[in-house]
Amino acid sequence: MEPPEECLCSGPDCVAPDSRGYSPKYAIVHNGTIYFELSSGAIFAVRSAAEPRAEVQKQARPSACSGGDTIVYTVRILGNGLPLTLTDPLPDGLSDPSLVASLGTADYDPGSRVVTWSGTPRLGEWVTIEYTVAVQETGETLVLRNTAVLTDGDGVVSTDTATVIVNGTSVYIPVVMRFH
């Protein structure tokens, strides 16, 4: 059985809905895409819906602090075998960061206050970017939110936001227990 006409490839960017029922001569997996060659010489590609997509996860420690304290941001990236880029604008009220990345290239532009990273982690490989900042002394209560935006080579975007409260007010609620 031959694949439908819309599944036939003439270049590296073709994608077919699925491969069930086709009898490939052989298959090659490259960057999460399976390329099949049939006995007729036709080549088509299938991208698995279950394949991991590039993903970003971000957290800040601690999530509540005072002016002058240090915050450690950890950004984790799940690779999909394609080139990835990350942008992470820092809110006002934080010092310039010191950056460490387990793979790829991390940088900071003090003029735009944006952390950037680029790299090509393998399919399913995690990359960790960690940076430390100091909170400026203001005396005011601040809510610092910043969002990391990851874009893969296919244009798919993943985002995650970390929030830190600076100089927040603690509220203590009494616990009343009743025994029967």
Instruction: Assess contact for 146 and 173: CB atoms under 8 A.
Output: no
Q: What is the architecture, at CATH level 2, of domain 55-165?
A: Sandwich (2.60)
- The domain spans of the chain are 5-47, 55-165
Please give the biggest Cα pair distance in the chain. Answer: 80
Residue 123's pLDDT is: 84
Residue 37's pLDDT is: 61
Query: Per-residue pLDDT for the chain (180 aa), expressed as one digit of tens each?
Result: 444 444 444 444 444 434 445 455 555 555 555 666 665 666 555 555 455 588 999 999 999 999 999 999 999 999 988 899 999 999 999 999 999 999 999 999 999 999 999 999 988 899 999 999 999 988 889 999 999 999 988 788 999 999 999 998 878 888 888 887
Per the rule left: phi > 0, alpha: psi between -120 and 50, beta: everything else, 132 is beta
Instruction: Assess contact for 40 and 24: CB atoms under 8 A.
Output: no
Residue 38's pLDDT is: 60
Residue 11's pLDDT is: 44
Residue 144's pLDDT is: 94
Residue 10's pLDDT is: 43
Question: Can you tell me the distance from the alpha carbon of 24 to that of 27, in angstroms, rounded to the nearest whole number?
Answer: 7
